[in-house]
């Protein structure tokens, strides 16, 4: 199990769990993320900015601490 930020770029991984809660978690869920969902890290914005994530046909940008709260396994 890894944090999403440690996942190699362009590789599919599966969300195992979220470590954030309440509104932060709810927001992730509303953006279409969920446990078991397959996601791919696309890259990171300049200056160590937000992470770009693909989940299905959705592209998301999220901050480091949000990306770190997503735990994944490689598949």
Partner 1 sequence: MIALIGSPNSGKTTLYNWLTGSKFKTVNYPGATVDYTIGKLADHWKRSNNPAVMDTPGTYSLFPKSEDERVTRDVLFHPETTGPIEKVVVVIDATQMERHLLLFEQLEASGFSVVIALTMVDLLKKAGLTIDVKKLEAKLGYPVCVVDGLLGQGIPELIDAIEKAPVTQKLTPVKKWDLEEFDRRQRNMRELVEHVLSSPGSRDRVLATTKKIDKWALNPYFGLFLFFLVMTGLFTSIFWFAAPFMDWIDIGISAMADWAFKFLGENLFAEFVSEGVIKSFAAVLVFVPQIFILFFGIGILENSGYLARAATLIDRPFSKLGMSGRSFVPILSGFACAVPAIMATRNIPSKRDRMITNFMIPLLTCSARIPVFALLLGFLFLGQPAWQAGLAMALLYFTSLAVGAFAAAIINKFLPAESFSSFMMELPLYRRPRIRSLLRQSGVRTRNYATRAGPIIFTLAVVIWLGTTFPHPELSAEQGRLQQSYFGSVGHQIEPVFEPMGVDWRVGVSLITSFAAREVFVSSLALVMNVTDDNEETMGETLMSQMKTATFTDGTLIFTPAVVIGLLAFVIIALQCIATTGVAIREMGSWKFAIFQLVIFNLVAYGVAVGLVQGLRFLGVS
Phi, psi (rounded to 5 degrees) for 67: -65, -35
Contacts to partner 1 by CB under 8 A: 20, 23-32, 34-37, 42-43, 45-50, 52, 54, 56-63, 65-66
d(CA 25, CA 9): 23
Q: Quick check: 17 and 66 in contact, CB under 8 A?
A: no
Q: Which residue's CB is nearer to partner 1, number 11 or number 58? A: 58
Q: Which residue's CB is nearer to partner 1, number 24 or number 74? A: 24
Q: Which residue's CB is nearer to partner 1, number 7 or number 69? A: 69
């Amino acid at each position: 199990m890894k944090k999403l930020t440690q996942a190699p770029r362009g590789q599919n991984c599966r969300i195992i769990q979220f470590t954030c809660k309440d509104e932060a978690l709810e927001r992730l869920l509303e953006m279409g993320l969920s446990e078991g969902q397959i996601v791919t890290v696309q890259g990171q914005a300049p200056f160590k900015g937000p992470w770009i994530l693909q989940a299905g046909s959705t592209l998301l940008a999220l901050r480091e601490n949000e990306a770190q709260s997503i735990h994944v396994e490689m598949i």
